[in-house]
Structure formats: C-alpha cells, structure tokens
Structure 1
Amino acid sequence: MGGRFPALALAITGYIVSIPIYCDSGFIILNSIRKHLVKTHKASPVFLSTVLGTALYATHTLVPPTPGPLAAAAANLQISDHLPLVMLSGMAVSVVAVVVGFLWGLYSQRYEVKEGQFERKVFPDQPEKQRQVGFFVSFLPVLAPILLITVSGLVGKGEDGIWQWLVFFGQPANALLVGLACCWPLISKSPRGGLEVYMTKGLEAGGKIALIVGCGGAFGLVLRASDFSQLLTSNELLVGFGLFLPFLMGAIIKTSEGMATVALITSSALIEPLLPLLGLDSVTGRMLALLACGGGSMTVAHVNDSFFWVIAEFSGMDTMTALKSITIATFLQGISVLITVQILGWWLL
C-alpha cells in the first residue's frame, strides 16, 4: 500500500492471517502493527481496531482451514472432498463481510479512546533480538496449507505416482503439518529461550482451540441425536426458511454462548439432517448452508465473546465503545453474508 492506506493494508493483512489461525491470536499478533499505524498516521484507534477485527472475523468464520469452517465442512456437512471450492467461495463471500466491516469502521471514527488506557499484557514478551526474514519465508506457513489443499482437490482421487503424494499432503491435517514445518526458518536462529516462548504460546492457544472445537462438535452431535431436529422438521414454516434457517441457528447459538466456532460446528451439525427438506442436499447446497451457518456464527460478538474483549482491551476501548463499534459491525457483517448467500442461492440452486 506504500504507507498511504493503513486501514486498507490492515484489512488485507487480517483477511489473510485469519485463514489458518484463530482470530483472537491474529489480533494479538497484529496489534503491534495496528498501534504503530495509529501513531504514524494519527489514525483513530477505534477505526483501525474495527477494521482489523472484522477482517480477521470474516475469514475466521467462513474459510477453511480455520478450525470452525473446516470441522463443519468435513465432519458435519460432509463436503471434505470439495474443500478447494469451499475455500474459494468462503474467501469470496468474506470479502463482502470485510468491506462492510471497513465501512462501519469509517463511521466508528467518531468514537474516541485513549490508546492503551485499558491495555494489558496477556502473553510473555518476545525475545528482544530476532533475525530478519524475507516476506516469502514469513508468508510460507500460511501459503503452503492453502496451496496443498487446493492442489489436492484439483488432482482428485485415483491418480498414481506423485499425484498420490499431493493428495496425501493435501489432506487438511497433513497440510497444516507442512505449514508448521515451514515455520522452522523463522525460529531456527532465534535467541536462546526464544523457542521455549514460541512453544509455550502455541500450546496455550492450541489447547484452547482443541477444547473448543471438540466440545462444540460433541455438543452439536448431542443436539442432533435429540428430538431437536425432529421438532424442526415437523414445523413446515421453519423448513420453508431455506438458507435463512442455518443462518438463524448459527446466530441464536452464537449470540447466546459467545464462541463463533462452537456456533458454526453446532449449527452445521443440526442443519445437516434437514438439508433434503430445505432443498440443499447437493454439493452446492451444502456449501451455501455452510456459508449461511458461518454468517450466523458471526452474529453478533458482544460481552460473552473472548474476541470482543481482546479487541476492546488491546485497543483501549471501554465496553460501551466496543459495543457501538465491534458488536454492530459484526451484526452488519452477518446480515451482509446472509444477503450474499441468498443471492448465490437464487443463482446457483
């Protein structure tokens, strides 16, 4: 961006970074860049925080291999063989959500905060001296899993030789393991004690993610095994909602319990038995149902969402300011995703 468009650069960065990692961790990682841009460009902290937070949130809820969309696509909606299509469609729809978040961020500039007023350190400090690395080496851990999953989907099954290896490494777990291996140049020459800090922080974040995804999937299957789905199928009005029903399920669960990943996994598990009745029992229909669940699972982030507090505390917002900026932004994002998915449904189904 040449230093001229700090908010746009931050939105693009957040859009990319949140594809393979959790949005909470992404905001913490990028917060130092955001603070630097606030100082050097005299930009509004609320504006840049809203732009970064909503960009991270968009791909976090819509694009595999982020844990929520990946688990919903592979385990619940059974479209793991079409992950490249799911990734591309999620990236396209999430652009709409990023634009909406950016526009609300422009409006939120009117809210003033004192930068760092409520800020507190959550993780241990980084080692003071770090080796400088190139852009490609830094971007490779993000790029490698996306390319491997995409190539695996394009190659398909039943190929011999090197193509079988591409399919093998294109499996989501294997692709992420390759991405982890690509991190080695970033830490191989770290100062003494640096690797310990990185491993500690990684385990702190990874353990929480594994717990959230596992509990969310289990909760969804418990609800699916209950009479809840039968209750919905017996209600002809709800079944006639089409793509609005998965969105509504995701939004109700998300707003009540706070975690977008849990809402996405749970709502996708509940909606899967209803797909034939909703006219969505096809690859395209399941993909659109996943996007609708993703849109619902970002509606809305408020006081029971850890990401809400990460943004508020690292940006120096009080609770009211965060509600005016982040909560309303995520509501508008979810509605924009729903409208986009509905339009795609009329065109593709």
Structure 2
Amino acid sequence: MSEEITFLWEMSTGSLLMLAAGAIALLLFLIMALKLHAFIALIVVSLLTSAAAGIAPADVVPTMLDGFGSTLASVALLVGLGAMLGRMLEASGGAERLTQKLLGVFGEKRAPLAVSIASLLMGFPIFFDAGLVLMLPIIYAVARRLEMSFLAIAFPAAIAFSAMHAFVPPHPGPVTAVDLYGADQGLMVILGLLFVLPTWYVCGYLLGKPMARRFDLPVPEIFDSPQEEDIARRFRSEPSTWTVVLLLLLPLALIGMNTVLSTLVTSGAVDEGNTAVQILSLIGETPVALLITVLLGFIVLGAVRGKPGKLTEAIADTALGPVCSVILITGAGGMFGGVLRASGIGDAIADSMTSLGLPLIVAVFLVALLVRIAQGSATVALTTSAALMQPAVQGMDLNSVQLVAVVGATAAGSIAVSHVNDSGFWLVSRFFGMSTSQTLRTWTVGSTGVGLVGFVIALVMYAAASAG
C-alpha cells in the first residue's frame, strides 16, 4: 500500500503465529466443513483476520483490496490472455494435432514425461501461472487422448513450472535473492538446473504416479457447455503442427529476448536509455508477449482460415467466462496472503529466527519456510527472507558456489508448503478440478517435497563447495 497502515494494538510473534494458524483453520473449516464457496470464505476470513490483527477500521478494506489488486495485476492479464490462446488452440484442433505429434515421438507410456519436458522448457522464461495456463490445452488433450488419470499428466507439468519459478533466473524471486546475497546470476542459471531437474523428477514425475492412482480425476470440463462445443466445432480448422509450435514458442522467444536484454543492460553491454532497447524490452514483457501471440492467433487460426471475425470473437469470449472464477478465487487468495503480510507476521518470524544461532544454510531455509507458511507468496517469502538474511550472508567469506547453494536453500524454503493462503494453490485447484482437500493432499504435498529435496541439494552443494 502507498500509505502506512495504522494498528490499534501490537502483537507479539507468538500471537501473530496463533492468529495465522487460527485464520487458516477457520478458512479450511468454512470451505471443507460448511461447504462455503472459496471466494466468499477467503473474503470473510481476510476481513476477520484484519480486524483481529488490530488494523484500524479505516485501513481494513484498503489492506484487503491491496492484496486482491496486486494479485490480479499479476494474474488476471496472464490467465485471461493465456486462456484465450489456449482456447483457440484447443477449439481449432491444434492442441490435438500437437498431442499426436508428441505421442508419436515419445510413445503413449511416456506421455507424462513428454508434457513435463515441454513444461520445463516453457518454464524457463515464463512465470508459473502464465506457463501453466499456456500448457493446459496440451495437458487436457493428452489426458483425453490416453484416457488416463488427469493428474498423471498435469501434476508433473505443474511441478516443473513451480521448480523453474523457484530456483532459476529470470524469475523474480531467485533474481532478487542472487542480487541481495551477491551471487552470480549466470552461475545461478547453470547450477539452478541442478535444483530443478531432481526436484521435478522426484516430486513431480515419480510422486505423480501414485498420486494419479489414488486420485483418479477426470479432465476438467471447463469449456464443455453445448453452446461452447458448437462454437468450437465451427472454429475447427486442423492447423499444422508447426503453426501450433509457432504460437507456443513465440511468447517464449519474446520473453527470452527481454531476459537477454535485461542481462546485457545489467552488465553494461547495452544502454538502458536506448530507444530500441526500451521498445524491445516492452515487447518482451510477459503480458505484451502474450497479447501479441493472441493477436497472431486471431489471424493464423481465424482470419487466414476464413473464419469470420464474429466466430473468432465468440471463441475468445468462451475462454473468459470459465476462468473468471479461477481469477477471482486466485485474487481472493492473494487478498488473504496480503492481509497476513500486512499484519507483520513474516517480518516477525524472520527477525526471531535470525537470533537462534543456526548454521547459515539451515537458517535461510527455515526463515523462508516459515515466512512462506505464514503469508503464502513464494516470491515474497524468497525476497523477504533474502533481504533479512543479507547481512549474515555477506558477513561470511563465501565462494561463488556456496552463495548459489544459499540462494537455493532460501528458494527451497520459499516454495514448500503451498496451501490456502497462496494464490497459486487456488490456481491449481480450480484449473485441475480438485477440491480443497484434494489440493492439500496433492499440490501441498508435492510443493513441500520440492522444498525438502531442494534443501538437501543445497546442503550437499554447500558442503562440497566448503570442502573444495
């Protein structure tokens, strides 16, 4: 928020912890026991938590709206544009065509591996939420084609995006942590893959198999109303595989260009004030890159194939209706996390943890983990804990690999235990067609596994670098 929040009373770290635990318990009770809609439950609990935290009545609603609005600012455009592109690919038959190609190359038995590899590649330049939405039509098409449990395909892919988002630049969390700790960005990109690949394989690909057997979920029927099916039938044109690949790779290329330019600007190789650099950087911003791709989709999947503009508009419109619920619930999850952040619980936990005298590699992990559990956002947990632990890290004479290990340990703590105060939790829940209970028993478990495996890798890397 732009203005400082006024509190009617101060709370100790222990009281803030009890408040957060009580708020989460109440939220779960409302959703799982009373079957209250998640959107309403999140608003109610956010309001009650604000009041209990001592936020002045005049600041309660602005605090709630700040968390809601900041989440929608990062999610709504990406989900909306990604859903439009995905809907066009699905309705045109392009997703099905690419699915046939993937299965022809990898074989049906290795379909989850094929989709996961594609997700890892897409997850390098694209943020978690945007990448997952872009992959959904492929995930849906593969699951329908093979008639297997939806989670067998979707879960490893989602973990792939999550691991990339946590450990590898240019994602904002690891970029900020690398900068604060004084590590090397290029080395973090290279060694970051040593975190991503094992965590994805163990916690996504291997863990996804028993989860798919335990939770035999159907493919979510997000766009399956009779009216939408009729519109999709008239839009179908069977585009070539290369057309589909172009539409999927274009945003990656544009965003990747932006990443390269940012790196060159940081190193001083190019002038940030150069007009051409500024224009290219704008084109490479994720929302702009997705917008350009959607507009190209209108042309190559619609106009070029003789589809009337009214039909293309209808296809785009059918994409937005079903994802409105996803966007609103995700925004409300961001509201709840924002209220907890405003209460000061993250800073209180981090401050108290720094005085325990733990080994550095353990301390950064635990600080990030507790901040993550308390307030929800992985990026906020990583950046906040890195800022608080910066003096301790820079006060030690660490070599370049040790610094990367410390960044990895902080990232591991920040990605674990995704639950009801995390907007990403609700994104996965709604797009995967899972109840809150099912999401807790799958996504929360998987994200916790990513954090724990990532921490073990950080410990090994830190020890090896110290011995060397």
Same structural fold, with TM-score higher than 0.5 when normalized by the shorter chain: yes
Over 3 Å counting, the alpha-carbon distance change for 1:185 and 1:70 in structure 2 is farther
Counterpart residue number, 1:303: 420
The structural deviation recorded for 1:250 is 1.5
What one-letter code is carried by the residue in structure 2 that aligns with 1:77? Y
What one-letter code is carried by the residue in structure 2 that aligns with 1:106? K
- Give distance in 2, aligned partners of 1:172 and 1:77: 26
- Equivalences for 1:52-67 in 2 at 5 Å? 52-67=157-172
* Mapped contact 1:242–1:278 kept (Cα < 8 A): no
Over 3 Å counting, the alpha-carbon distance change for 1:348 and 1:172 in structure 2 is farther
Matched, 1:71 2:176: yes
Counterpart residue number, 2:213: 110
Tell me the C-alpha RMSD between the 2 structures: 4.5
- The unaligned stretches of length 5 or more in structure 1 are none
- Give distance in 2, aligned partners of 1:13 and 1:134: 13
* Mapped contact 1:119–1:315 kept (Cα < 8 A): no
State the SS of the aligned residue for 2:357: helix
State the SS of the aligned residue for 1:138: helix
- Equivalences for 1:275-294 in 2 at 5 Å? 275-277=393-395, 279-280=397-398, 282-294=399-411
* Mapped contact 1:229–1:273 kept (Cα < 8 A): no
* Mapped contact 1:18–1:56 kept (Cα < 8 A): yes
Given the alignment, which residue of 345, 357, 362 partners 1:237? 357
- Give distance in 1, aligned partners of 2:172 and 2:236: 29
The structural deviation recorded for 1:328 is 1.4
- Give distance in 2, aligned partners of 1:297 and 1:285: 18
State the SS of the aligned residue for 1:54: helix
* Mapped contact 1:84–1:150 kept (Cα < 8 A): no
Matched, 1:94 2:94: no
The alignment covers a number of residue pairs equal to 331
* Mapped contact 1:243–1:292 kept (Cα < 8 A): yes
- Give distance in 2, aligned partners of 1:105 and 1:11: 11
* Mapped contact 1:187–1:195 kept (Cα < 8 A): no
- Give distance in 2, aligned partners of 1:279 and 1:196: 55
- Give distance in 2, aligned partners of 1:186 and 1:336: 39
Counterpart residue number, 1:37: 142
Q: 1:121-162: CA deviations, max 9, x gaps? A: 7xxx8x96599526356314314544674698699956699x
Q: Report which of the two structures shows the higher radius of gyration computed on alpha carbons.
A: 2
* Mapped contact 2:369–2:414 kept (Cα < 8 A): yes
Q: What TM-score comes out, normalization by structure 1 length? A: 0.73
What one-letter code is carried by the residue in structure 1 that aligns with 2:187? L
State the SS of the aligned residue for 1:243: helix
What one-letter code is carried by the residue in structure 2 that aligns with 1:85? L
* Mapped contact 1:242–1:279 kept (Cα < 8 A): no
Q: 1:236-257: CA deviations, max 9, x gaps? A: 622xx22122111111111222
State the SS of the aligned residue for 2:125: coil
Given the alignment, which residue of 246, 257, 266 partners 2:364? 246
Given the alignment, which residue of 321, 330, 334 partners 2:451? 334
Over 3 Å counting, the alpha-carbon distance change for 1:338 and 1:25 in structure 2 is same
- Give distance in 1, aligned partners of 2:156 and 2:459: 25
State the SS of the aligned residue for 1:237: coil
Counterpart residue number, 1:142: 252
Over 3 Å counting, the alpha-carbon distance change for 1:173 and 1:228 in structure 2 is farther
- Give distance in 1, aligned partners of 2:283 and 2:463: 36
Counterpart residue number, 2:93: none
Larger CA deviation: 177-186 vs 141-150: 177-186
Counterpart residue number, 1:269: 387
Larger CA deviation: 337-346 vs 33-42: 33-42
Larger CA deviation: 30-39 vs 99-108: 30-39
Over 3 Å counting, the alpha-carbon distance change for 1:290 and 1:39 in structure 2 is same
Q: What TM-score comes out, normalization by structure 2 length? A: 0.57
* Mapped contact 1:250–1:267 kept (Cα < 8 A): yes
- The unaligned stretches of length 5 or more in structure 2 are 1-101, 303-308
Counterpart residue number, 1:321: 438
Given the alignment, which residue of 115, 119, 122 partners 1:14? 119
Over 3 Å counting, the alpha-carbon distance change for 1:187 and 1:84 in structure 2 is farther
- Give distance in 2, aligned partners of 1:195 and 1:38: 22
Judging by fraction of residues, say which structure has more helix: 2
The structural deviation recorded for 1:11 is 1.0
Over 3 Å counting, the alpha-carbon distance change for 1:149 and 1:347 in structure 2 is farther
- Give distance in 2, aligned partners of 1:302 and 1:223: 17
